[in-house]
A and B are shown apart, each in its own frame.
Chain A
Amino acid sequence: MRKLSITAVCVLQAIAGGFQYGFDIIDQTGLPSGTVYPALGRLERDGLVKSAWESEHDAHADGRPARRYYKLTAPGVKALSESAAFYRSLLPAGKPRTARG
């Protein structure tokens, strides 16, 4: 497994948590836009996320252009859980156990 960077894990986690649009991911992760967008580009290039455009109809109803949204692919889901587990294992031993227990 190729280990994902903390940034990538944060972005994937945000998307998995339902924050699918660029600025929403930025708001959610607190990372700067100059970090989040290249991270999204890398994740998409590596096939961990997929992007699509929201329906023009919905957007126009809102009086704005359609936004691009991102969602996890199957490899993305797997990579996120593996990487998250790895980073969690680095935390002080007590916490996860209590959480599990």
Chain B
Amino acid sequence: MTMLRWCDWVLRAVAPLVPHDIRRDWLREWRAEFAYAAARAARLNRPMPLTSSTRALGAIAHAAWLRWDRWRIEMIWQDIKHSLRGLLRKPGFTATVVLTLAIGIGGNAAIFGAVNAVLLRPLPFANPDQLVRIYKTNLAQPNQIGGTVSPPDFVDYRRDNTSFTDVAAYAESAYPLIGDGPAEQIPGAQITGGFFAVMATAPALGRTITDDDDRPGARDVVVLSHALWTRRFGGDLGIVGRQLQINGLSREVVGVMPASFQFPLQSELWMPIKFNARDLETQRGAHYINVIARLKPEASLEAARQDMRRVAARLAAEYPRTNREASAAVHPLREALVGSVRRSMFVLLGAVGLVLLIVCVNIASLVLIRAVGRGRELAVRAAIGAGRATLFRGVLIESALLGVAGGALGLVLAYWATGAIAALDPSVGVPMINQTRLDTTVIAFTLLVSVAAAVVFGTMPAWQATSITDVVSRIREEGGSTTSDPKKQRMRSFLIVAETTLAVVLLVGAGLLGRSFARLLAVDLGFESASIQTFRVTLSDSKYAQPLQRQEFFDTLMARIAANPGVESVGGNNGLPLTRFSYGISTSSVDGRTLSDEEQDALTLQIRLVTPDYFKTMGIAIPRGRAFLPTDRTGAAPVVIVNATAAKRVWKDVDPLGHELRIGTRLGLGGEAAGGAVVGVAADVREFGPGVPAPPTLYLAYAQWPISYLTVVAKSRGDAASLIEPVRATLRDLDPDVPMYAVRSMEQLVSNAIAQPRLYLLLIASFAGTAMLLAAIGLYGVLAFAVGQRTREIGIRLALGAKRGEVLRMVMTQAGRLAVTGVAIGLGAAALASRALRSQLFEIAPTDTFTYVMVGVGLLIVALVASWIPARRASRIDPLAALRHD
């Protein structure tokens, strides 16, 4: 091949890249240059220079540049303008796609935001992967999450382990802070000296608490949270060194933590917890502290687990009375914080992902319909010289425009939804849910999802639609064909079936959760919640050191509150139902017989110290015996009331009245172990939520065991909230240094107790509703289009004598077949998928037949309604007009 021919070959090979209108000039220019070079060489009687061959390669770059330059201009102006015009001409189509996409993307971004906050974003501590919780567990379930530790066990864990750089303990509570403003109850934690070393967080001001601070006899100090420091002390830089009255002790402020430090969640102050030698000797059975630790950089989680099991086994051998059945579990801190909700969060993400999938399928079928509808336009453009690439680019840009619009609107929805999620109270049972933000990760996720959704699902069918090979058939088809292309019909049918399937899965999930929730609501909690206001009062140990002082304080408080004309009745309890308050103590003797260790462990009772009118105020029935009387007080014979479950557990079928029972503690008050003769049997109360059976409960008379705190319940003659201010005034009159806190109505507590399942149901149900709507839109769209395509065919049928009812039936049958297929596959898929919900369901099996039947029938009805409109239109076609139809 001569040099000139080679160059020409390259030019011809590259030419198709050059935009069509300048291709001839481009070829002419390059050929002329090569010809000139060849002519000059010939004139000099030399061969064509070798550089010509490399110059020919430059033609490739030139052609590519021309193509890009043209696309750039065209893309920015022509195509966008053209696409926008096209989209605005079909506002129904555009609005449907944009809204559909926005719902899918907005929902996904919001749920992903929540998942990101709860499960994915690193905890805000240094090397958070090294942080673990250590639990004292039972040999039966050695790896469970949860299990507080006793101080002596903690000291042994800390001393004997080989896996951790440090181990620390904390106990959460709330402490009254007085002076510098109104008395206030501040949530906080008592911590051991190693706490801040484990968390590895430096203070914003001053210093943190160290090992020197938790020794008995050390100065009383406190570290404040950033929130407390700014809220109560106005960010006073001179705070360090000041003395504050906390929990009845004067404590020196030694430091302020940065705003980012929140551990334990919601803590606003940290004080050292001091174990004296006697605590460490006697408290091995008293489990009330939480243990955290930091893994050594080289230690693995598995090694740490084995290490702790070894330590626990040694303690079990050494202290069989308290540790016989005990083991120790190590879990990453994140797992400990959010392990319980991980599964439901991923189910939610999966559900919202299904919605997005439906959105994509819907968009695919809508774009397909539109592309086919534009078939003639595309075919004509192809016929007058537009390449497939050009046509495809148009559709691509259209999809991108829809994607951008849908993504933008979706982001607005997501912004609104993440705001709503972040406003949720983490006490609904999803820790850190209030940290949900629309941050860069979430926005990046949204962009990725929207662009991918639009481009993949918008262009896949478009590629098919712009296929040049059937230009001729397309033009012909548009003119005179009577039926549509069966291949495309199949594709549309497949999309409809897929959409129905996905919708069924979501609807079954929502149905199961809905039925489960209804059963949860129907549970009898054992008390009434209407018009009851509650709040908590804690007396400081220094000012109210004597039991009689406390007894007198609460007696007076109850009497004064009861004197308020708006109050129907008032009572008190050391811990209310549905507040996650658990105070379990093992029974030591029944009817004078001391129980064996095994029997004691098996008979742990929830202890509630209540005032006489507690049962009346809460509407808790006393079917046998009596409630406490004002005369049941210190000095009188000790009496107890058991609930029905405890009565059955302890005395089986024997009437418990008059029998005697004691628990293994003096409640810190000296004297004999708490307990007494049974004077009444109370109805069961679901202390731990509607889904958890009532625990065996022992009620003691507060006046016989006056501890330092009570939660007051006051039943109002009107609105519960109307009592708050008068009662606050009463308390202030009695002692201005005693704060009123945890002010909540009983109805709020009940509502909180079902907040998590309600939220879950609400989310899944809204996804399912959206899915059903989208499936209906999709079905309607496809059928309406199919009827439009078959106008001529149907016209011929009618002209040949087909009855309108038959046409109606024909279209409905087509729709019905698709819907039935989708529903059948969907029910099967739901039976598999609903297993993921098992832990969320209350008294409902994941395979609940009723739900499946209702969803199946319901969706079929929706499908029939959606297809009725196009079917009716088909049956009303005028045969004459149809035959003239283009």
11 additional contacts (CB under 8 A) given A35-B61, A64-B32: A21-B33, A23-B33, A23-B37, A33-B55, A33-B57, A33-B59, A34-B62, A45-B69, A63-B39, A64-B35, A64-B39
Interfacial chain A residues near B58, Cβ < 8 Å: 32-37
Contact A23 B39 (CB under 8 A): no
Interfacial chain B residues near A68, Cβ < 8 Å: 25, 28-29, 32
Interfacial chain A residues near B61, Cβ < 8 Å: 33-35, 37-38
Show 21 A/B contacts (Cβ-Cβ < 8 Å), sorted by A. A33-B55, A33-B62, A34-B58, A34-B61, A34-B62, A35-B61, A36-B58, A37-B58, A37-B61, A38-B65, A41-B69, A45-B69, A62-B39, A63-B39, A64-B38, A65-B32, A67-B29, A67-B32, A67-B36, A68-B28, A68-B32
Within 8 A of A (CB), among B4-30: 25, 28-29
Interfacial chain B residues near A26, Cβ < 8 Å: 55
> Is B469's CB within 8 Å of the partner chain A?
no
Interfacial chain B residues near A62, Cβ < 8 Å: 39
Contact A67 B39 (CB under 8 A): no
Query: Which residue in chain A gives the minimum CB-CB distance to B39?
Result: A64
Question: Which of B60, B62, B69 is the most central at the interface, judged by chain A CB atoms within 10 Å of its CB?
Answer: B62
Query: Hey, what's the 0/1 contact readout for B46-63 against A, CB within 8 Å counting as 1?
Result: 000000001101111110
Contact B33 A22 (CB under 8 A): yes
CB distance from B10 to the nearest CB of A (A): 11
Query: Which residue in chain B gives the minimum CB-CB distance to A66?
Result: B32
Interfacial chain A residues near B25, Cβ < 8 Å: 68
Question: Which of B33, B54, B60, B66 is the most central at the interface, judged by chain A CB atoms within 10 Å of its CB?
Answer: B33
Task: Report Cα–Cα, A45/B72, bound state, in Å.
Answer: 13
Task: Report Cα–Cα, A42/B29, bound state, in Å.
Answer: 16
Interfacial chain B residues near A65, Cβ < 8 Å: 28, 31-32, 35
Task: Report Cα–Cα, A74/B66, bound state, in Å.
Answer: 24
Interfacial chain B residues near A32, Cβ < 8 Å: 54-55, 58
Interfacial chain B residues near A59, Cβ < 8 Å: 32
Query: Which residue in chain A gives the minimum CB-CB distance to B34?
Result: A23
Query: Hey, what's the 0/1 contact readout for A50-80 against B, CB within 8 Å counting as 1?
Result: 0000000001001111111000000000000
Interfacial chain A residues near B66, Cβ < 8 Å: 38, 41
Contact B69 A23 (CB under 8 A): no
Interfacial chain A residues near B33, Cβ < 8 Å: 21-23, 67
CB distance from A98 to the nearest CB of B (A): 36
Query: Which residue in chain B gives the minimum CB-CB distance to A42?
Result: B69
Task: Report Cα–Cα, A64/B39, bound state, in Å.
Answer: 7
Q: Which of B31, B32, B37, B62 contacts A41 (CB 8 A)?
A: B62
Contact A23 B62 (CB under 8 A): no
Query: Hey, what's the 0/1 contact readout for A12-47 against B, CB within 8 Å counting as 1?
Result: 000000000111001000001111111001100100
CB distance from A68 to the nearest CB of B (A): 4
Interface size of B by CB at 8 A reads 22
Interfacial chain B residues near A37, Cβ < 8 Å: 58-59, 61-62, 65
Task: Report Cα–Cα, A64/B29, bound state, in Å.
Answer: 12
Interfacial chain A residues near B38, Cβ < 8 Å: 64
- The SS class assigned to the B binding surface is helix
Task: Report Cα–Cα, A37/B62, bound state, in Å.
Answer: 6
Question: Which of A32, A34, A45, A59 is the most central at the interface, judged by chain B CB atoms within 10 Å of its CB?
Answer: A34
Question: Which of A21, A22, A26 is the most central at the interface, judged by chain B CB atoms within 10 Å of its CB?
Answer: A22
CB distance from A17 to the nearest CB of B (A): 19
Interfacial chain A residues near B29, Cβ < 8 Å: 22, 67-68
Q: Which of A34, A38, A66, A67 contacts B57 (CB 8 A)?
A: A34
Interfacial chain B residues near A41, Cβ < 8 Å: 62, 65-66, 69
CB distance from B31 to the nearest CB of A (A): 6
Contact A23 B55 (CB under 8 A): yes
Among all A-B residue pairs, the 10 with the closest Cβ atoms: A33-B58, A34-B61, A34-B58, A37-B62, A38-B65, A33-B55, A67-B32, A64-B35, A68-B29, A65-B32
Query: Hey, what's the 0/1 contact readout for B74-109 against A, CB within 8 Å counting as 1?
Result: 000000000000000000000000000000000000
Question: Which of B37, B57, B61, B66 is the most central at the interface, judged by chain A CB atoms within 10 Å of its CB?
Answer: B61
Query: Which residue in chain A gives the minimum CB-CB distance to B52?
Result: A23
Query: Hey, what's the 0/1 contact readout for B416-435 against A, CB within 8 Å counting as 1?
Result: 00000000000000000000
Task: Report Cα–Cα, A60/B55, bound state, in Å.
Answer: 24
Task: Report Cα–Cα, A46/B538, bound state, in Å.
Answer: 82
Interfacial chain B residues near A67, Cβ < 8 Å: 29, 32-33, 36
CB distance from B561 to the nearest CB of A (A): 82
Query: Which residue in chain A gives the minimum CB-CB distance to B68?
Result: A38
CB distance from B56 to the nearest CB of A (A): 8
Task: Report Cα–Cα, A21/B54, bound state, in Å.
Answer: 18
CB distance from B703 to the nearest CB of A (A): 91
Q: Which of B28, B36, B57 contacts A23 (CB 8 A)?
A: B36
Task: Report Cα–Cα, A63/B61, bound state, in Å.
Answer: 29
Within 8 A of A (CB), among B377-414: none
Question: Which of A37, A42, A45, A62 is the most central at the interface, judged by chain B CB atoms within 10 Å of its CB?
Answer: A37
CB distance from A15 to the nearest CB of B (A): 15
CB distance from B523 to the nearest CB of A (A): 76
Task: Report Cα–Cα, A87/B380, bound state, in Å.
Answer: 52
Interfacial chain A residues near B31, Cβ < 8 Å: 65
Query: Which residue in chain A gives the minimum CB-CB distance to B65?
Result: A38
Interfacial chain B residues near A21, Cβ < 8 Å: 33, 36
Task: Report Cα–Cα, A41/B30, bound state, in Å.
Answer: 13
Task: Report Cα–Cα, A62/B32, bound state, in Å.
Answer: 12
Interfacial chain B residues near A63, Cβ < 8 Å: 39
Task: Report Cα–Cα, A22/B32, bound state, in Å.
Answer: 10
Interfacial chain B residues near A33, Cβ < 8 Å: 54-55, 57-59, 61-62
Interfacial chain B residues near A22, Cβ < 8 Å: 29, 33
Within 8 A of A (CB), among B139-194: none
Contact B32 A38 (CB under 8 A): no
Interfacial chain B residues near A66, Cβ < 8 Å: 32
CB distance from B18 to the nearest CB of A (A): 11
CB distance from A6 to the nearest CB of B (A): 18
Q: Which of A38, A42, A45, A64 contacts B36 (CB 8 A)?
A: A64
Task: Report Cα–Cα, A45/B66, bound state, in Å.
Answer: 11
Query: Which residue in chain B gives the minimum CB-CB distance to A36?
Result: B58
CB distance from A83 to the nearest CB of B (A): 21
